[in-house]
Structures are given as C-alpha cells and as structure tokens.
A and B are shown apart, each in its own frame.
Chain A
Amino acid sequence: MIGIVDYGMGNIKSVANGIIRVGGEVKIVSQPNELQNCSALVLPGVGAFAQAMENLNKADLVNPIIERVEEDTPILGICLGMQLFAEYSEEFGVTKGLGLVEGGVVKIPEAPGIRLPHMGWNEVKQVNSLDSSLFKDVPDEGCFYFVHSYMVETAQENLTGVATHGSRVTASMQVKNIFATQFHPEKSQSNGATILRNFVNISEAKGENKYG
C-alpha cells in the first residue's frame, strides 16, 4: 500500500489516479499515525514551498515522514514534493525544508528568450541512472511534463536526470530510498506511467539492492 501524503497542497487525485492506473494500491494519508502502515510514500505538491512546510508542520507530518524515510521506506517526491526533501528553499525568502537530501532549492537562472515558469514537455537526460530502478525501461531523453520556476541544487552524484531550459535543470534525483522527480510522472503519459510502475515495483521489492 502506497501512502500519498495529503497536506492540503497537492494534486492528490491526479497522483492517486496515476498509481492506480499502473496497478498500484494507494491510500491517501493525512494523519501522522497513518504513515506507519504504508510500504512506500509519495509526497506530491503543487504550490509554494513555505506554505507547504507550514502545512506539514501544522499537520505534525514532518517528523513521521523523516522517521519513515530513516527506517528505509521508499519515498517518491514529485515536483514541490521533491523540493521539500532539500535543506532549504529560496522561494519568497529562505525557508527550511525536510533536509532529507543535501542541497537547496533555487530559482532557475533567467536567460534571454527563456520563459519562466519552465512549463511543458522536456527531454530528460538520464545521468548516473544505469543503476536507478526508477528509470528502468524509460528511454533516455524521453519527454516528461514539467512546471516549475525553482529547482533543487544538489551534488552531481544524487542526480538521476537533467533537462535543459536555458541552463541545466535538475529533473530527478535519488539518494538510497529517497526518489524524486521535478517533472510530473502522473501527467507524463506513457513515460510517466513507466516511472510510477517502477516505483510500485520498488515499494513491493524486498531484500538487498532493492533500489539498485
């Protein structure tokens, strides 16, 4: 059972539908104790970083999420959910994040002819991802749907995918059991469905190298 964390900010329905479409079982969770019963978690998110952290704090979800991740529960952050994994964000002033992944959230650099938000379908170049089970069977430079103005800046070794929008944009990352995509797999047609199915497989996997 994959728990989709509902903290009042996400396109919960779209994400739930996306996982159900590929055969996963989902439960929408909003109470701290509900996280215990989930084999994996998804942290979706649409909106502003500071508001999201405020909502997570108000709902007493920050520590339960961190605890579950430390217990090796696979978690997938989508869009703002990915950004919340970082240590801080510079959106509307500096806000502290969940701190699950080293790095911060910064604005995509402006450049002539580059419109922000970075909105639409873009190719994701897979990096370091030969061993990322999230991208299994996804064509390199396959198209995914993005919509964001801020992105995670983290160490190269954490990246699994990058896109180009003026400069290099972080498209996805993985640190052990923490998976994250800046793009929306639930809105990226068949490529997105493959990603979600892979995450369902990860949530069901047992034993060593389950994230390998």
Chain B
Amino acid sequence: MVKNRLIACLLIKEGLIVQSTNFKSYLPIGRPKFPIEFVTQWDVDEIILLDMSAGKENRGPSLEVLEMLSVTCTVPLTVGGGIRSVEMARNVIRSGGDKISINLPALENKHLVTDLARQFGSQCVVVSMDCKKQKDGKFYIFGSSGHKNYGIEASEWAAEVENLGAGEIFLVSIDRDGGRLGYDLDLISSVTSKVNIPVIACGGVGSYKDFSPGILKAGADAVAAANIFHHVEHSTILAKAHLLDDGVNVRLDSEARYSNRSFDKFGRLLMLDSKTLDIENIEDSRK
C-alpha cells in the first residue's frame, strides 16, 4: 500500500525561509539551505517550496536558489511561486524541481493546468488552493495573499482542476494558517469527497497531534505544515512518531523512532532522566 505522506512546506519570502500567520505576518527563519537539509535528514516524505515574493514581483522562483537546494534534497521537491507558463515550469524542473505548484495562474488561465499536464504529466502538476470560510458556511478560493475572493467554491474548483489535468491538490486554509488550532477538517472533507486525486492538507497544525485527523477524519492523502517544523530537532520524525502512534501508515526509516516516549500536551518530547538514557545506551551497544 502506498503510504500517507508528511510534507514540510517551506515558505520563502525575499530569499529567506519564514513562518507565516494568517498570510499577514511573517517571522524569518533563515536561509533556505539548512531547513531543507534538516527535514530531508529527518525522514520527511516531500518538500513544498513556495516563493511568496515571486508572483508579486512578476517572476518565477529563483532558479539559482533551486539549483543549490536540489543538491541536498533527496526527497521530492514541489516548487511554486509565480510560475505562469510551460516554459517557466520547464526551467524549474530542469533546475531540480520535481513538481510544479500553481495557484493564481491556474485561476486566471485554466489552460495552463492542461498544458502543464500534457507536457510534464499530471503527476507533475499540483494546484494550490488558498481557501477561506465565508458567512454562508461554504469555503471559497481566495487569491492575492488572501485578499481577493474569486467566488468559486473550493470543492468545485478542486473537481474542475482534476478534470483539467491536475495530479494533486495542495489545500490551504487561510483561516487556520499559523493559528495552531489544527486543520480545518470540514474544508478538507469537502474537497477529498469531491476528487479522486491526492489532497495535501495544510494550515493550522499547532501540535504533532494535529496531523493524523487530516488523514483519518478528513481523508487527506498527505499532511503538510510549515511553522511547526522549525526550531525543533527531529521535528518531522516526531511528527511521524505521532502519526504512527495514531495508526497512520507512514514511512519511518530513521533509527530514532520515539515509539516508546512520552510527550507533553503540546506534543513536545519529554526528557528522560539520566539513568534511563544510560540503560538505553547500554542496550543499544549490546545489539
């Protein structure tokens, strides 16, 4: 069986990786090279790299940065930000991207989804959707960093892009972004029930416990987050330890598995006392 995936979403703004809250405020983390190296070493299944400045500056993602990053990236790399033509997509793939993520250009030019699928195959085309709940209780597609309501329901747009040739949907809740309240399960369910292509849930993860409901309750194939993976050692391994504990079928090749460890209510690893550590080390060395 194909495994569910844990995806790290890395946001680049003006050349730096940032944490984002509600698409409004941004906290810089640092240069892109290191976060990518970290999560790759820590068994992340995929990386989505979004250049948030690209669209506004009317350019594609920086190919120079991409070429540098692809050297150490041993997992699939989806790249997004300002890609609005087949030619730009081709350059991204040639520079080390494995998949293309498109958001607004898909809304403005539906043929682009089909053209990209024809050129590179559906599996290469990820349509990213930024969604907000409106007063009528339905979820709508928003653009321009969450300012413009396109008046299209998320589930309808998802079904349409599937027909146009998209291979995957990257579903972002603007309401939950950076809010640490967990995924918007209603939003995810409304989309996963409408399409037959994989759906990646994103937006709202505040604790490692927040990942598994996206898969088990809302039917997502992959779960993504951004902010939570920064500043914590083995962050993506810890996330997978929680997923496995909840019965989600994810890959964990790492030697560090944290399978018998305790966590606090925020999902942070509780320390062992020195005695326990000592015994563990002795047992390990006997193996």
| Interchain CB contact (< 8 A) of A121 among B3, B94, B122, B168 | B3
Q: List A163-212 residues whose CB lies under 8 Å from chain B.
A: 163-165, 184, 186-193
Task: Verify A165–B2 contact, CB threshold 8 A.
Answer: yes
Q: A122-B1, A142-B253, A189-B74 are in contact. List 5 more A-B contacts (CB 8 A).
A: A18-B74, A46-B123, A48-B119, A120-B2, A187-B74
Sort chain B's interface into a size bin.
35 or more
Contact status A115-B198, CB under 8 Å:
yes
- The yes or no answer to A128 lying at the interface (CB within 8 A) is no
Name the interface residues of B82-107: CB closer than 8 Å to any CB of A: 90, 93-99
Number of A interface residues, CB 8 Å? 42
Q: Which residues of B contact A (CB under 8 A)?
A: 1-5, 40, 43, 45, 67, 70-71, 73-77, 90, 93-99, 118-124, 167-168, 196-198, 221-222, 251, 253
20 A-B pairs whose Cβ atoms sit less than 8 Å apart in the complex: A8-B90, A13-B67, A17-B71, A17-B73, A21-B74, A46-B98, A46-B124, A117-B168, A117-B197, A118-B2, A121-B251, A123-B1, A145-B76, A147-B98, A148-B123, A149-B121, A164-B1, A165-B2, A187-B74, A188-B74
Give Cα A165–Cα B249 distance, bound, in whole angstroms: 14
> Contacts of A13 on B, CB cut-off 8 Å?
67, 70, 94-96
Q: Interface residues, chain A, CB within 8 Å of chain B?
A: 8-9, 11-14, 17-18, 21, 46-48, 51, 80, 115-123, 142-143, 145-149, 163-165, 184, 186-193
* Neighbouring B residues of A190 by C-beta, 8 Å: 74, 253
A148 to B196, CA, bound (A): 15
Which residue of the partner chain, among A47, A48, A120, A186, contacts B221 with CB atoms under 8 Å?
A: A120
